[in-house]
Structure 1
Amino acid sequence: MSQAVSEVNTGAGTRSAPASPWASLAVLSSGLLMTIIDGNIVTVAMPAIQSDLGFSAAGLAWVVNAYLIAFGGLLLLVGRLGDLVGRKRMFVSGLALFTAASVLCGVATDQGVLVAARALQGVGGAMTSAVVLGMLVALFPEPREQAKAIAVFSAVGAAGGALGTFLGGALTEALNWHWIFLINLPIGVVALIAAVRVLDDDRENHRGGEFGADYPGAALITGALMLTVYTIVTTAEHSTSATLSLAAGSLLLYVAFAARQARAARPLLRLRLFRSRLLTGANAVQMLMIAGMYGFQYIGALYLQRVLGYGELLTGVAFLPAPVTIGVLMLGLSAKVIGRFGAHRALLAGLALITAGLALLGRLPSDGSYALDVLPGMLLLSAGFAAAMPAVTGLAMGGASEEDAGLASGLFNTTQVVGGSLGLAVLTTLAAGRAESLTDGGTSALAATADGYRLAFWVASGIAAAGLALAATVLRPASGRAS
């Protein structure tokens, strides 16, 4: 977009857009990259962390869970706060907290310190991630330019996932696990300085005083989301009855929150937001899509390590074709495809490719080959994600008004976390159960493990197919409208 300083009219008034929206996009993408990398970089280093700090198997899970619970639980709240007090202020504060918490993780020599610092990282990551899409759609109000910006942003996020896996293995093997966190210090400092200098100060468009009346609502929704994520990520640690009790507690908190918002004078969340078919439908579709994709990222890595015998670094290298493919397609084709055929058709095509890719991975043998058995499915998934992610993002954010953009951004990120956590819990439980059942029946451990992964991929394919069916019906453009 070749704009200097332009006036953007919104429901909140008229404001000056930044002179260089693409520079602002680069800053926002750097913040996203840091949080995405961190979410994946830890997984590969978990054995080293366990050995060094003496974690039990159950305790080690909290290195991941502490981050996910804080991150997923706060996204909706801080997204709304960004609408009220200023998105730049929220983004910059989140960057500062995330960077400081990363250093604390890096110097941790005690289990409790590391878990607490990971929770702080989750808070900072939520503050940074929740408002970025709201800022992006404000920077690029013109549809074609917005599609390009979303494609760039989505490509950065996809690249961060695989880059985190690669860096986790490389840094842990070459140095030690502390450096997977300390690497965030230079990245965070540069991003923080750039954010302060480049991003538009949008405080005049927000009304911070409106939040003060609804602290009970904030407590209810934060508690509900944290309990939801906790229930999902600790499913394997609890009995079925305990899991159902936790789920029921989450549901009660959601009901109490909805009742509170319906009668609050200044609600934290305007329930009318969910009347938007685009926003609600796109978030539901994204949840199903991410549930399947997370299965590939996690179970695919386990297949390479436990079945094909790959080490941490080689596993990271094996995943590199995914972000390369996604980046090339998103940056070169996604915006053009969406501009020509519409977001709905691009989303359907992408979900069809994801469904096919996961089904192809459902035939992985115990004596498989990376080039013949893993790579083809990975490339199909990557192409599908490159088409689907920018499309579903545009549909979701297009269903929100300017004044609710931060909340919509937080909601979109929340469904990613919940969808990914739920998909991972379901798929890993199914894979482990299938492998255990076959092993008890006399099947070799290697063959049983591979069969468990195949089952997980077939279920993931079914989840993606459900997302495709939902997108085809709920998100279908109204008659006479462009798709």
Structure 2
Amino acid sequence: MSPTSPSLPAAAPATAAPSSRRWWTLVTVALAQLMVVLDSTVVNIALPSAQADLGFTNADRQWIVTAYSLAFGSLLLFGGRLSDLIGRKRAFIIGLIGFAGASALGGAAGTFGMLVGARALQGAFGALLAPTALAVLTTTFTVPKERARAFGIFGAIAGAGGAVGLLLGGLLTEKLDWRWNLYINVVIALIAVAGAMVFVSSVPRTGPRPKLDVPGTILVSAALFSLVYGFSNAESDGWDSPSCWGFLAAAGVLLVAFVLWQRRASHPLLPLHIVLHRNRGASYSAVLIAGAGMFGIFLFVTYYLQTTLRFTPIQTGLGFLPMIVMLVLAAQLSTNIFVPQFGPKVMVPIGMTIAAGGMVYLTHLGVHANYAVDLLPPLMILGTGMGSIMPAAIQTATLGVDRQYAGVASAMVNTSQQVGGSIGTALLNTLAATAATDYVASHLPPSPQVLAEAAVHSYATAYWWGAGFFAFGAVLTGLLYRRRVATAAVVAGPGDTGAAAEPEPAVAH
């Protein structure tokens, strides 16, 4: 939302959903977003049971996660643009039905290959669904105060979905069967489809039918695939493997080619002014850095709880519950009180700083710990930090964008989070593994006690680096976000005008 609560453009009321329906639209969109976000973690807890059932190897296990992230990450910008071209309501329903079908296929999988294929299909339809959901929200809520509430809820879901996935995955795996981690999406999707058909408005197209930038789509999809795949290989094969640096180098070349093509394309997939606008660029950076830092929380705290403190999957999920509560509370306070008062230039760096403090707090954990004394405070601090970052960054990232580019601008939010998660996965895992190896080498012979201490030491290393990510994010976003000035609002920039676009605040550089 705009920090100065700009007035609504004259054309907006004609396209906004009726007041009695827009909040049901939010419920529908929130269900879809929750389904996509939690699916990146809900399956993780089910992996041991699925492996025992289907008989695949430890080396193959990573593909259950990687197949989803590769399809999701590489097709996000295409999915966002497709929603702009075919209409957001139609794209939203197609994405929901496709995601549900892929989930049912995965739940019924009798072989490893079938499960991997279903996960890839989930990622592909998720790449259409996730940016479309955010675009629906962006074009439905144009009144500043309502927009703040809606994005507060959406941002809380985006930040807490991973932890919710851990809790739900533990419950479903222990009480039912690993397959229900996939079947549950069918239930959620059916409810969301019914809501979409009733509450999501179809907006008639005005002007000529837009065209798809096919070369740009191929270039950016290949670049994002190479980027995510390269980081995935870094996690499993090491940074010096050709399968890592070869794909990362290819990603760099393809991204440069994509940018050069966007500068001359008559119908660009991603108009560069969307990402080069300072506030939006700062927001995309904030989401990317928060995604990288958050990975350290979910992955290593989960390892710590289950392997060091011997928590069950359900206990592990419940252990994250206070963090979720604080995240939701902070998100609502931030979007309804603090962001209107201080703007994202203050709130996002403060959230980054708080999250960095929570990560540093986690570094003191030892082989033995008391949850209430040692884990509860830092998790609540981290929830507060993420609740201050995500809603402010997400709503600023989509503010003032022309309606015809709402889908692809929203896709950039999801792309930033996905790339951040991939970087966090590879980098923090590699650093943690190296720290564990060095610790064992300096504490020979490797007794069970030494191995337990090495694991905790490796987690602490990941937390320190996660704190560094957040600290860097605090400095970067503090420099990039524009300062608020209580003057009349101005429109964002070239191409950012349109019926649904909200003007952005006048700023001083």
Instruction: Please state which band the TM-score falls in when normalised by the shorter chain.
Output: over 0.9
Conserved? CA contact 1:344–1:391, under 8 Å = no
> After alignment, is 408-417 or 194-203 more displaced?
194-203
Q: 2:417 is paired with a residue of what secondary structure?
A: helix
Residues 177 and 203 (structure 1), Cα distance of their counterparts in 2 relative to 1, 3 Å cut: farther
Counting only pairs closer than 5 Å after superposition, residues 36-55 of structure 1 correspond to structure 2 as 36-55=37-56
The C-alpha deviation readout for 1:171-197, integer Å capped at 9, x for no partner, is: 111221111111122211111111112
**1:141 counterpart residue number:** 142
> After alignment, is 195-204 or 405-414 more displaced?
195-204
Residues 203 and 52 (structure 1), Cα distance of their counterparts in 2 relative to 1, 3 Å cut: farther
2:477 counterpart of 1:471: yes
* Cα distance in structure 2, aligned partners of 1:86 and 1:430: 44
Which of 457, 478, 499 does residue 451 from structure 1 map onto?
457
* Cα distance in structure 1, aligned partners of 2:18 and 2:99: 25
**1:220 counterpart residue number:** 219
Identity %: 35
Shift of 1:394: 2.1
**1:352 counterpart residue number:** 353
Shift of 1:344: 2.2
* Cα distance in structure 2, aligned partners of 1:419 and 1:156: 17
Tell me the amino acid that sits aligned with residue 200 of structure 1. Answer: S
* Cα distance in structure 2, aligned partners of 1:479 and 1:197: 41
**2:496 counterpart residue number:** none
Tell me the amino acid that sits aligned with residue 293 of structure 1. Answer: M
**1:9 counterpart residue number:** 11
2:269 counterpart of 1:268: yes
* Cα distance in structure 1, aligned partners of 2:237 and 2:209: 41
Shift of 1:336: 1.5
**2:5 counterpart residue number:** none
Q: 2:11 is paired with a residue of what secondary structure?
A: strand
Q: 1:267 is paired with a residue of what secondary structure?
A: coil
2:99 counterpart of 1:102: no
**2:467 counterpart residue number:** 461
* Cα distance in structure 2, aligned partners of 1:81 and 1:206: 17
**2:230 counterpart residue number:** 231
**2:418 counterpart residue number:** 417
Shift of 1:269: 2.0
2:33 counterpart of 1:27: no
**2:501 counterpart residue number:** none
Conserved? CA contact 1:71–1:126, under 8 Å = yes
* Cα distance in structure 2, aligned partners of 1:114 and 1:307: 30
2:278 counterpart of 1:277: yes
The C-alpha deviation readout for 1:228-268, integer Å capped at 9, x for no partner, is: 11111221333515122211111111122222222222222
The C-alpha deviation readout for 1:344-381, integer Å capped at 9, x for no partner, is: 22212211110100111111112222112211110000
2:319 counterpart of 1:318: yes
Conserved? CA contact 2:367–2:456, under 8 Å = yes
TM-score (norm 2): 0.89
**2:440 counterpart residue number:** 439
Question: Gaps (5+ residues) in structure 1?
Answer: 1-5
Shift of 1:8: 6.3
Shift of 1:70: 0.5
Q: 1:269 is paired with a residue of what secondary structure?
A: coil
* Cα distance in structure 1, aligned partners of 2:10 and 2:411: 22
Q: 1:73 is paired with a residue of what secondary structure?
A: helix
Shift of 1:409: 0.3
Shift of 1:206: 7.7
Residues 43 and 283 (structure 1), Cα distance of their counterparts in 2 relative to 1, 3 Å cut: same
Q: How many residues align?
A: 474
Tell me the amino acid that sits aligned with residue 17 of structure 2. Answer: A
The C-alpha deviation readout for 1:309-360, integer Å capped at 9, x for no partner, is: 1121211111111112222332355422212222322212211110100111
Residues 329 and 260 (structure 1), Cα distance of their counterparts in 2 relative to 1, 3 Å cut: closer
* Cα distance in structure 2, aligned partners of 1:87 and 1:35: 17
* Cα distance in structure 2, aligned partners of 1:93 and 1:205: 22
Q: 2:15 is paired with a residue of what secondary structure?
A: strand
Conserved? CA contact 2:56–2:112, under 8 Å = yes
Residues 205 and 43 (structure 1), Cα distance of their counterparts in 2 relative to 1, 3 Å cut: farther
Q: 1:363 is paired with a residue of what secondary structure?
A: coil
**2:123 counterpart residue number:** 122
2:171 counterpart of 1:166: no
* Cα distance in structure 2, aligned partners of 1:438 and 1:408: 45
> After alignment, is 258-267 or 90-99 more displaced?
258-267
TM-score (norm 1): 0.93
* Cα distance in structure 2, aligned partners of 1:369 and 1:207: 63
* Cα distance in structure 2, aligned partners of 1:237 and 1:341: 43
**1:3 counterpart residue number:** none
The C-alpha deviation readout for 1:122-155, integer Å capped at 9, x for no partner, is: 0111111012222212111122221111001122
**1:258 counterpart residue number:** 259
Tell me the amino acid that sits aligned with residue 147 of structure 2. Answer: Q
Q: 1:398 is paired with a residue of what secondary structure?
A: coil
Conserved? CA contact 1:171–1:180, under 8 Å = yes
Q: 1:24 is paired with a residue of what secondary structure?
A: helix
Q: 1:365 is paired with a residue of what secondary structure?
A: coil
The C-alpha deviation readout for 1:204-247, integer Å capped at 9, x for no partner, is: 25854422xx3222111111111111111221333515122211
Conserved? CA contact 1:278–1:398, under 8 Å = no
Tell me the amino acid that sits aligned with residue 461 of structure 1. Answer: A
Q: 1:210 is paired with a residue of what secondary structure?
A: coil
Shift of 1:23: 1.1
